[in-house]
Each structure stands twice: as structure tokens, then as C-alpha cells.
């Protein structure tokens, strides 16, 4: 029996594991390269964690190669089974940028180098996909900044020591899973046919504390 941590405590997990669960629930993910001790705890107690989060209609996803762990909601056709973690679909430009960065991440796999994106590079990507007549240069700058800010909030890109340059997080591969990387260009083409500003059906876990 684990020592009670507070009055009325009936939990069976020790303090370090409970702290790890809180961090998983807060998200958006655990980076094992940044916190080796927590990463090993998750691996060692994987069965316990999976059992606990299943009660909340969540699934533990672990990528041992990239050392990324996160929670994702299960899809059940029953009332009151929506995961307690809120989600909001990426908007058109956010999705376009994320998909292009997913391709960049794949191209760097196994090279020992990080995939990076600058603000100027992000702007160029969105300019390529700009819907003519609907987005002027000023709006393009705003969309670039807001898209980068959203991906930063989700920790799908990470700040670097270089101003306006960002590292693409390995977690992006789990956030945007594809059975084949060749599927992405077709998805990009489909987005081109959507209305400007419309949300796509590609959901990414959003565990920000506040919008």
C-alpha cells in the first residue's frame, strides 16, 4: 500500500508516477531526450499507465525510436466518452505548414541532423499555397505568425538559439500519422480545394493550458 499523500488519499501509485501522469495529461507530450528519468519511468510502468488512462478514454502512445510519449483519445460511438482533454482541429494554414514540416522531418530521418524551419521559410510555404484574391501580403504575414504560434503552443515546433528559427519536433510524426509518407502530397492537394480559413478534418491533440 502506497503511503497516503493527503487526507482521504486512496490512490495506489507512488508520488513520482502520479507526477508523470499529470505531465502526460497536461501534454502535449513527453520528450524522453529532455527528461530521461521520466521517460524510463513511463517505460517501466507502461502497463499501469495504460490501465489508468484507459479509464479516461485515452490511449498511451509511445515511440521508442523518437523517445516521445503522448496520450490520444479513443474514438467511441457512445455518449459521455469524449476525452477530458480538449481538441481543436488545425486551421487550413496551420495544417499546410504542419504537413510540409512532416515531410521535412521525414527527409531528415536517420541523418543525425534536425529539421528546422525559419519564419521566412514558413512564409514561403504558405505563400505557395495562398488562395489568390483572398490573402494579401499583410494577411499572409499574420497567418505566418499565427500558424507558427499555434505549432509552438502544441510543441510541434520548438524554439532554437537562432531568432525566428525553429526545430521540428519528432512528436510531429505521431501527431500527424500517415501509413505512408507518399500520402501527404495528395492530402496537401485536397486542402488546396478547401475554402480559405476553413478547418480541416485533420485533428492534432491540443493540450494547451489556455488558448
- Condensed to tens digits (0 to 9), the pLDDT of residues 33-61 reads 889 999 999 999 999 999 999 999 999 99
Q: Is 97 found in the same domain as 187?
A: yes
Asked if residue 7 is part of any domain, the answer here is yes
- Percent helix, strand, coil in the chain, to 5, is 40, 15, 45
Name the pairing type of β-strands 165-168 and 116-118: antiparallel
| pLDDT cut 90: percent of the chain above it | 47
Average pLDDT of span 16-21: 94
pLDDT tens digits for range 143-175: 999 999 999 998 999 999 999 999 999 998 888
Asked if residue 37 is part of any domain, the answer here is yes
Phi, psi of 199 (to 5 degrees): -80, 145
- The secondary structure of residue 45, as a DSSP letter, is T
pLDDT at residue 98 is higher than 60? yes
Asked if residue 197 is part of any domain, the answer here is no
Mark out the alpha helices in 45-118 (DSSP H runs): 46-54, 92-107
Collapsed DSSP state (helix, strand, coil) of residue 35: coil
Q: What is the pLDDT of residue 181?
A: 62
Report the predicted TM-score, pTM, of the whole model to 2 decimal places. 0.70
Q: What is the pLDDT of residue 175?
A: 81
* pLDDT band with cut points at 50, 70 and 90 for residue 129: confident
Taking a C-beta distance cutoff of 8 angstroms, is the pair 175, 154 a contact? Answer: yes
Pick the closest to residue 28 from 145, 199, 151 (CA basis).
Answer: 151
Q: Is 138 found in the same domain as 110?
A: yes
Q: Is 135 found in the same domain as 73?
A: no
> Which residues 6+ apart lie within 8 Å of 173 measured at CB?
63, 66, 68, 102, 105, 106
How many domains does the chain fold into? 2
- The secondary structure of residue 180, as a DSSP letter, is -
Asked if residue 207 is part of any domain, the answer here is no
Asked if residue 148 is part of any domain, the answer here is yes
Asked if residue 199 is part of any domain, the answer here is no
pLDDT at residue 200 is higher than 70? no
Q: Is 54 found in the same domain as 14?
A: yes
CATH code, 123: 1.10.10
Q: Is 64 found in the same domain as 7?
A: yes
pLDDT at residue 130 is higher than 70? yes
The boundaries of the domain holding residue 106 are 92-192
Q: Is 129 found in the same domain as 52?
A: no
Amino acid at each position: 500500500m502506497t503511503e497516503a499523500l493527503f487526507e482521504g488519499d486512496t490512490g495506489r501509485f507512488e508520488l513520482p508516477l502520479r507526477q508523470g501522469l499529470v505531465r502526460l495529461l497536461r501534454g502535449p507530450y513527453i520528450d524522453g531526450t529532455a527528461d530521461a528519468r521520466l521517460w524510463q519511468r513511463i517505460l517501466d510502468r507502461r502497463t499501469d499507465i495504460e490501465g489508468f488512462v484507459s479509464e479516461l478514454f485515452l490511449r498511451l502512445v509511445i515511440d521508442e525510436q523518437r523517445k516521445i510519449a503522448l496520450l490520444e483519445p479513443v474514438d467511441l460511438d457512445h455518449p459521455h466518452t469524449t476525452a477530458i482533454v480538449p481538441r481543436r482541429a488545425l486551421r487550413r494554414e496551420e495544417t499546410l505548414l504542419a504537413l510540409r514540416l512532416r515531410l521535412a522531418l521525414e527527409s531528415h530521418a536517420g541523418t543525425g541532423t534536425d529539421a528546422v524551419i525559419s519564419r521566412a521559410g514558413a512564409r514561403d510555404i504558405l505563400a505557395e499555397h495562398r488562395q489568390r484574391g483572398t490573402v494579401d501580403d499583410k494577411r499572409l504575414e499574420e497567418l505566418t505568425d499565427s500558424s507558427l504560434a499555434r505549432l509552438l503552443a502544441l510543441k510541434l515546433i520548438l524554439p532554437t538559439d537562432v531568432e525566428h528559427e525553429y526545430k521540428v519536433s519528432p512528436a510531429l510524426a505521431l501527431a500527424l500519422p500517415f501509413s505512408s509518407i507518399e500520402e501527404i502530397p495528395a492530402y496537401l492537394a485536397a486542402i488546396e480545394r478547401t475554402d480559405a480559413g476553413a478547418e480541416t478534418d485533420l485533428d492534432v491533440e491540443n493540450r494547451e493550458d489556455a488558448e
